[in-house]
């Protein structure tokens, strides 16, 4: 049996769909469907059961046998809003919940693969899995970083500083792709550019800031299909544990994303262009103009597959989104 928390969310539902394509349907999806629209993400997936996130946590704490036949937990469930400032809620939902699942997995020998975030780097300009580069800027980033720290400290308490079963954290960079539409304003720029171009023919970008030209702020944009591949590769390589950046290792500009969206639609006969709005004053000093994953640790662990660049990923995404 496989458990995917946040399984009706963006990355989680892509993991479920890919597992289905590999012939696995013995999957329990755990989520919070208070926003009922999220069910769309798994309506084309085959699963064994669905559990509400609170009911699941209670059953794990009671140790009622739910986890007895589980091979792996892909823990993608979290409040992922970077604009949520309720720290008590964020720490209960993201930090304490994750600790409970981690300990349950270690007790039962279940592989535990969890979502961390590149937001742990916050104000840093170096994106490498080392404490000195980690400076979260919001409470979401802090909740993810503090769990990474907990994992690091807990690992030191085991013989030879090694967990008895697999524990892997993935610091996701700017993930985009299918099944993110429920995220609204938190959806990727590729999603928003696609809608803007279809609505009025114009992709709207920020003007220059922080020494970067119009639309030239840069991010490590990583296609969700690649994120799923990395998750499943680690599960199939259980001797590999640790905390890993999950980006492409190559940053690209917001202009690159808009250009890819415009090119895709242009090939379908819909012409588009770009426009730039002055960079918002309230974001100055609180906006990352550059992110790029150092993926040397990921490569050293043995993952060798290439990552899609922006044009490849955006084209695959828009093929799905506009089908």
Q: Which of 122, 116, 126, 80 is nearest to 293 (CA)?
A: 126
Please state the CATH superfamily assignment of the domain spanning residues 2-174+224-249+293-307 in this structure: NAD(P)-binding Rossmann-like Domain (3.40.50.720)
* Dihedral pair phi/psi, residue 176, rounded to 5°: -140, 160
Q: Which of 79, 99, 75, 98 is nearest to 87 (CA)?
A: 79
- Greater model confidence, 86 or 104: 104
CA 87, distance to chain mean position in Å, is 20
pLDDT higher than 80, residue 64: yes
* End-to-end C-alpha distance for the chain, whole angstroms: 32
pTM > 0.75: yes or no: yes
In the chain, domain spans: 2-174+224-249+293-307, 176-218+252-289+315-321
Q: Which of 121, 40, 27 is nearest to 76 (CA)?
A: 27
Rounded CA-CA distance 76/12 in Å is: 6
Burial classification of residue 240, based on how many CB atoms lie within 10 Å of its CB (0-12 exposed, 13-18 middle, 19 or more buried): middle
- Over residues 7-12, the mean pLDDT reads 97
pLDDT at residue 37, as a whole number = 87
pLDDT at residue 284, as a whole number = 78
| Range of lowest pLDDT (20-29, 184-193, 284-293) | 284-293
pLDDT higher than 80, residue 82: no
Q: What is the dihedral of CA 54, 56, 61, 62, to 10 degrees?
A: 110
pLDDT higher than 90, residue 41: yes
Query: Which tens digit of pLDDT belongs to each residue from 129-147?
Result: 999 999 998 899 999 999 9
pLDDT higher than 90, residue 79: no
Query: Which tens digit of pLDDT belongs to each residue from 203-236?
Result: 999 999 989 999 999 999 999 999 999 999 999 9
- Over residues 8-18, the mean pLDDT reads 98
Question: Which residues are catalytically annotated?
Answer: 140, 183
CATH code of 176-218+252-289+315-321, in short, is 3.90.25.10
Rounded CA-CA distance 158/176 in Å is: 37
Rounded CA-CA distance 143/122 in Å is: 12
């Amino acid at each position: 049996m496989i458990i995917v928390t946040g399984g009706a969310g963006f990355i989680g539902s892509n993991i479920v769909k890919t597992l289905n394509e590999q012939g696995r349907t013995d999957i329990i999806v755990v989520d919070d469907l208070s926003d009922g629209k999220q069910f769309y993400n798994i309506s084309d997936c085959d699963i064994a059961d669905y559990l509400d996130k609170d009911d699941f946590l209670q059953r794990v704490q009671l140790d009622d046998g739910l986890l007895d036949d589980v091979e792996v937990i892909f823990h993608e469930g979290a409040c992922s809003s970077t604009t949520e400032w309720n720290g008590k809620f964020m720490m209960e939902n993201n930090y304490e919940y994750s600790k409970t699942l981690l300990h349950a997995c270690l007790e039962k020998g279940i592989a535990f693969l969890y979502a961390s975030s590149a937001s742990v780097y916050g104000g840093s300009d170096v994106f490498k899995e080392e404490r000195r580069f980690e400076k979260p800027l919001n409470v979401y980033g802090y909740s993810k970083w503090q769990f990474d720290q907990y994992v690091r400290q807990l690992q030191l308490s085991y013989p030879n500083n090694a967990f008895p079963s697999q524990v892997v954290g993935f610091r996701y960079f700017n993930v985009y792709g299918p099944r993110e539409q429920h995220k609204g304003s938190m959806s990727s720029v590729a999603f928003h550019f696609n809608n803007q171009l279809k609505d009025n023919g114009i992709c709207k970008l920020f003007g220059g800031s922080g020494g970067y030209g119009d639309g030239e702020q840069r991010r490590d944009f990583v296609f969700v299909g690649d994120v799923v591949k990395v998750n499943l590769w680690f599960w199939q390589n259980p001797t590999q544990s640790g905390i890993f950046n999950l980006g492409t290792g190559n940053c690209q500009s917001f202009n690159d994303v808009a250009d890819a969206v415009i090119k895709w639609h242009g090939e379908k006969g819909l012409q588009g262009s770009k426009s730039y709005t002055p960079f918002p004053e309230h974001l100055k000093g609180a906006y990352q103009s550059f992110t790029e994953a150092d993926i040397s640790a990921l490569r050293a662990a043995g993952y060798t597959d290439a990552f899609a660049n922006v044009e490849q990923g955006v084209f695959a995404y828009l093929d799905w989104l506009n089908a």
